Amino acid sequence: MGGNTKVTLILDGEKNDFSMDRDGNILDEGLINGYDIPHSCQGGICMTCLGRVTKGKAVMDDPGVLSDEELDEGFILTCISKPDSEEITIDFDDV
């Protein structure tokens, strides 16, 4: 992987953009950039950090707790997801 991704977060009705390295995870980078993304375990178990990818792609270390249906609908656990496209939009309101 490697390279940079422009990330757009839809959170509490607002759109926010930041740029991150594709090797980082989306939750951590979002928090570092000052966005109040819901989270708890940070280990891919509690599903608090659930978001839905509406544009672009992400890869998850271990999609274990999400069903195939949820994965097909674009849901990701942002604490264990890395962006995998030049741009990605993640909606936290539509979950």
Residue pair 8/51 in contact by the 8 Å Cβ criterion: no
Q: For residues 85 and 47, what is the distance between their CA atoms, to the nearest angstrom?
A: 23
The footprint of ligand FES on this chain (CB under 6 A) covers a number of residues equal to 12
Q: For residues 42 and 48, what is the distance between their CA atoms, to the nearest angstrom?
A: 9
Stretch in the footprint of ligand FES (CB under 6 A) among 2-10, 28-36, 37-45, 66-74: 37-45
Half-sphere CA count of 22, side-chain side, radius 13 A: 15
Which residue's CB is nearer to ligand FES, number 1 or number 41?
A: 41
Question: Phi and psi (nearest 5°) for 83?
Answer: -65, 150
Q: Is 16 in the site for ligand FES (CB under 6 A)?
A: no
Site string for ligand FES, 55-84 (x = CB under 6 A): ----------------------x-x-----
Q: Return residues touching ligand FES (CB under 6 A).
A: 39-42, 44-49, 77, 79
